[in-house]
Amino acid sequence: MGSLADLRVIDMATLFAGPSAAMMLGDFGADVIKIEHPRRGDPSRGHGASVDGVGLWWKTLGRNKRAAAVDLSRPQGQDIIRRLAAGSDVLIENFRPGTLERWGLDPQDLLKDNPRLIVARMTGFGQFGPMAKQPGFGTLAEAMSGFASMTGQPDGPPTLPPLALADGIAGLAMSYAIMVALHHRERTGQGQVIDMAIIEPILGLLGPQMTAFRALGVVPERTGNRSSSNAPRNTYRTRDGRWLAISTSAQPVAERVVTLVGRGDLVGQPWFASGSGRVAHVDELDEAVASWIAARDADEVIAAFEEAQAAIAPIYNVKDIAVDPQYAALGTFVDVADEELGEVTMQNVMFRLSDSPGEVRWPGRSLGHDTEQVLAELGLDAAAIAALREDGVIA
């Protein structure tokens, strides 16, 4: 049944950050009820690639969730949410601050009806402050966190990631925050409200940039594929045209790399003993590594690095990932039966637990697939459900 099978989660969020957090809870058994607009659905249904009009991103983001379509702007829809929240453990939402309150779903009122409820609020900029009510997306967080300013070639423009990076990080952080709040509830019996701004988790993962700025006035600059903390660290092209990445964060690994490429004499230099010292001589180190790799095919380079116990990896695209034996051994991808497409392949759960592993039980379902079931569990009979459907409150 999964470690979280005793939890009911209402996922009222859209797109990526909030729904990602709900997906992670569902992966370990939580009963996640996804609430979507009866006519528009979650926007992720229309993002990215599709097969016969069926969005593939949604198949992953909506997995392990029961799909219920309810119009939250209607009083009848708001009543459904209040009734659901009264019997649930977690409610996740990402509307602009004030929206829930305007709908009569103020978190404090929900907590009066259900003192054990965790209300997880995910917004671009948080619930207060000068930007709180502005529309916020992961792209803006990637810009405002300093990530984009640090990413790209030194002589190129700031670079945004080609994926929903800030949203994914915020989703992970929210799932963690929810588990912390649930643990607090176990000790005290009391639920609470979580206020998460998407601009903050990604900033927290960028290292001590504010610490260094306040202490030393350091402003990180773009270094391309190099690191400002250690060297050599870069991408290198082999004789047969493949790209490889190496890392020397650990001092013994740095020593093995330069010895392997014929520059063991550098190990005795005083500056070589620290990552910052090696960064000061990055051009010399990069030239030594790049020239050695460029004279050999990728398989030869990888074999030599592995024998020397030095860290190296090929730079993959998705075709490479699909046939990689390490991912296959880990079971990183899983084929799941799907009501619309027959079968879809997607990433498996993010980690393995020895006694209570997670599972992808089903992909994202069609809009409103489980509405009637969810409403019946609230005590609505067939006639009441039919009337709500006729009135456009549900789908």
Ranges assigned E (strand) in 204-351 = 234-237, 243-246, 312-314, 333-338, 342-347
Whether 27 and 78 share a structural domain: yes
Q: How many domains does the chain have?
A: 2
Whether 308 and 366 share a structural domain: no
Q: Which residues form the catalytic set? A: 167
Residue 130 located in a structural domain = yes
User: CATH number, domain at 363?
Assistant: 3.40.50.10540
Whether 191 and 249 share a structural domain: no
**45: containing domain:** 8-204+355-390
Whether 128 and 274 share a structural domain: no
Whether 192 and 139 share a structural domain: yes
Domain end among 264, 289, 314: 314
Residue 347 located in a structural domain = no
Residue 215 located in a structural domain = no
Ranges assigned E (strand) in 19-130 = 31-36, 50-51, 54-55, 65-69, 90-93, 118-123
Q: The tokens 């709500």 sit on which residue?
A: 388
Q: How far apart are CA 121 and CA 123, in angstroms?
A: 7
pTM, rounded to two decimals: 0.95
Whether 198 and 239 share a structural domain: no
**pLDDT by residue for the chain (395 residues), tens digit each?**
799 999 999 999 999 999 999 999 999 999 999 999 999 999 999 999 999 999 999 999 999 999 999 999 999 999 999 999 999 999 999 999 999 999 999 999 999 999 999 999 999 999 999 999 999 999 999 999 999 999 999 999 999 999 999 999 999 999 999 999 999 999 999 999 999 999 999 999 999 999 999 999 999 999 999 999 999 999 999 999 999 999 999 999 999 999 999 999 999 999 999 999 999 999 999 999 999 999 999 999 999 999 999 999 999 999 999 999 999 999 999 999 999 999 999 999 999 999 999 999 999 999 999 999 999 999 999 999 999 999 999 99
Cα distance from N-terminal residue to C-terminal residue, the chain: 28
Token code pair at residue 290: 């790049």
User: CATH number, domain at 251?
Assistant: 3.30.1540.10
Residue 324 located in a structural domain = no
Whether 243 and 196 share a structural domain: no
Whether 199 and 238 share a structural domain: no
Residue 299 located in a structural domain = yes
